[in-house]
Structure 1
């Protein structure tokens, strides 16, 4: 699998992330592009999961907040697509709004 495809696949669910991570670990030459996008996608997956749980709890308490759950889901998908676009352009740039939170937090090159 090429570096570009590993970076793209890392954004496609947690299974895609695991596949990209395992392929990256097997490769002899560690790519900065793949390392960066593995970190960005893992951060987005974790953030989406935490927000999903928090919004679900709030929606159970206040049913009128159901629309907020839908908005958060759509925003997560938009950020995911923006990450895929950046990876396909082989750009090392953070996701909008939340990407700076994940920079330097995850290092997979070891």
Structure 2
């Protein structure tokens, strides 16, 4: 697979991330584009899980707060699309608002 394809695949579900990661790890020429987008997408996956759990707890305590859950889901989906667009353009730019938090946090992706 091409580097661009691996970078895009990293954003497509957790299974796509795992496939992209395994393919990246067995390569001898490790491109920074793939590792960067693996890092960004893993951060987004973790963030969406945490926000999903938090919003579920909030909705269980205050049922009318389901709007918050919808906004959180929509927000993470928009970030996912922006990540796919950046990977397609072969750009190494962080996701808006949250992307800087993920830079350099997952060192196992670089080696």
Q: Would you say same fold, with TM above 0.5? A: yes
1:56-71 paired onto structure 2 within 5 Å:
56-71=56-71
Distance, in Å, in 1 between the alignment partners of 2:92 and 2:60 is 39
How many angstroms apart in 1 are the aligned matches of 2:80 and 2:4? 16
Whether 1:91 aligns to 2:91 is yes
Query: In the TM superposition, what whole-angstrom CA distance separates every residue of 1:4-41 from its partner, at most 9, and x where no partner exists?
Result: 00000000010000000000001110000000000000
TM normalised by structure 1 equals: 0.98
What per-residue deviation string (whole Å, max 9, x for no partner) do you get for residues 47-103 of structure 1?
Answer: 000000000001000001001101100111000000000000000000000000001
Partner residue of 1:16?
Answer: 16
Under a length normalisation based on structure 2, what TM-score does the superposition of the two structures give?
0.97
Q: Which runs of 5+ in 1 are unaligned?
A: none
Structure 2 residue runs of 5 or longer lacking an equivalent are none
Q: Distance in 2 between matches of 1:103 and 1:38?
A: 11
Looking at structure 1, the residues matched to 78 and 62 of structure 2 have their Cα atoms a distance apart, in angstroms, of 26
Count of residue correspondences: 110
Rounded to whole Å, the distance in 1 between the matches of 2:55 and 2:31 is 36
Q: Describe the SS at the equivalent of 1:19.
A: helix
